[in-house]
Structure 1
């Protein structure tokens, strides 16, 4: 029997931003007919524990399936594994460089490579500051590819957030929207009120 839910691959590397990962996973979990397939690097797990006090087993309530990055033969390594695309959140500069050069030495990088070759959506939620010329070059090269979207983890203020949670929800909602997930948390710019 064929899977009727739309799959979204989520890769997570060791940059800061794990609360945003959790928020994106929660938005996918709440969306009807969607499921998440999560690949976490060892650095992501370290950052997750530091920023959120969580371990890999704690993510089972957020993600539908969790893969080890060493499991290079897992389903997401093949283009025949149908997905709506992939979100890498947070995307470290090391992971960005691996994706840009096609260096597929783990499942996260292989899944991103498959996403590119199949011309599916690839959203890279990059996290670094300041950005070097190398970082910018890698992002510029990837932005030229069909379906690739570079979305730095940037806060917005036009929706007049009152809490850190408001800001986190806004960014996460923007990250999952390209996959067809609509969230009440996303406040669009509607122009200045006069």
Structure 2
């Protein structure tokens, strides 16, 4: 393993591209080596939901891999990482990972993460969920994935969407075992209530 911890970050086509961008920014400030892969639909969502250009997003990562590059380092289990976060994670990407029938580097890297027993965090961005979705999510959980929908924490008294995105990003990093000061911890009820 290299001196820096390596984290694979995937951005799929689900709504919530801001979460992926914030995670990349946070990793840069935490001095993590990031390997980014964005699905084709993820590229569209970034352009529709943010003011960032694809070039700007790619520049946030240490290494960018095209979704069609099945020969990339992150497609192999011999490439050591601490795991992978897909944020946001679409139902299509989740379904491919659950079945092991992967069609892009994004889902292949996730499959590799699972087979190597590394942490795979999927920030599923869909609601409502039908029974087929729930069965696939259960299957993924049984396979070792951590399912983390981007649900806001209101005990932090957020003042903006940015506050919500930052809190969730810190939570993702902590789940990956990376300490940070982005997420505020619950400190118990006030006034002994």
TM interval, short-chain normalised: over 0.9
Unaligned runs of 5+ in 2: none
* Equivalence for 1:153: 150
CA contact (8 A) 2:10 2:38 kept: yes
Distance 1:192 1:179 in 2: 27
Normalising by structure 1, we get a TM-score of 0.95
- Identify the range of structure 1 (152-161 vs 57-66) with the bigger mean alpha-carbon deviation: 57-66
* Equivalence for 2:142: 144
CA contact (8 A) 1:45 1:55 kept: no
More RCO (CA 8 Å, sep 6+): 1
CA contact (8 A) 1:95 1:109 kept: yes
Are 1:114 and 2:119 an aligned pair?
no
Distance 2:53 2:66 in 1: 14
Pairwise CA RMSD: 1.1
Cα deviations by residue, 1:10-31 (Å, 9 ceiling, x for unpaired): 1111000111111111111111
Normalising by structure 2, we get a TM-score of 0.95
Q: Secondary structure at the match of 1:158?
A: helix
Are 1:186 and 2:183 an aligned pair?
yes
Distance 1:85 1:31 in 2: 16
